Amino acid sequence: MTRFPCWALAAALAGNQPVSVPMPIQFQLVLKVLTAERNRPLETRPALAIGIVYQGKSPDSRDVKDRFAAEIEKETANHLVPPVRFGLIDVSNPADLASEFARTNPDILYVSPLPGFDLDSIVSLSRARKILTFTGVPAYVQSGLSVGFSSERGDARILINRKAYLAEGADFSSKLLKLAQVIE
């Protein structure tokens, strides 16, 4: 299994952060994973729409949402990525989740920490709409999201839930699957 070095950004991990991989690395890994997705190739998209799922009442969730959105804005402003737009999806009122998905019309979801939130509604909607899910919370990959990122001894690792990504309609290259920790 290959690991991606993130020691240069270790200072970003200071304090008790809810995610262990710095946002610049997470964003780059999202793009790398998408290049290995054969059913919806990144290069064929005119733009990439990312839905950032967060919980408005949680400071950790808002912080991760803000940092991920800031990373998208920074990278897009530098023209270092394909055109990317994002929409914010607050799950504070779970009854609004389906309408928020429709409003933002995402190609992929990035799920921030959601303390006390049952991921089943996100998993159900993402699978029904064939939206690939990403997170910086490793436990969420075990709970049914497709792709996550964790850190081990300063190296970023890609976690992939095979059942989840297949249910979301993805087809990852064998090269990516060899690099990642695959959860059956």
Q: What is the pLDDT of residues 37-81, one digit of tens each?
A: 988 877 777 789 999 999 999 999 999 999 999 999 998 888 766
For 81: left if phi > 0, alpha if psi spans -120 to 50, otherwise beta; the answer is beta
Q: Is 178 helix (H, G, I), strand (E, B) or coil?
A: helix
Which of the four pLDDT bands, split at 50, 70 and 90, describes residue 14?
Answer: very low
Choose between 44 and 32: higher pLDDT: 32
Give the whole-angstrom CA distance, residue 37 versus residue 153: 28
Q: Is the pLDDT of residue 25 over 80?
A: yes
> Region 127-150: what's the mean pLDDT?
96
Whole-Å CA distances, 56 to 47, 66, 94: 27, 11, 12
pTM: 0.87
Q: How confident is the prediction for the chain on average, in pLDDT?
A: 87
- In contact, 156 and 29? CB cutoff 8 Å: yes
pLDDT at 12 over 70: no
Q: 145, 111 in Cβ contact below 8 A?
A: yes
- The pLDDT, as a whole number, for residue 80 is 65
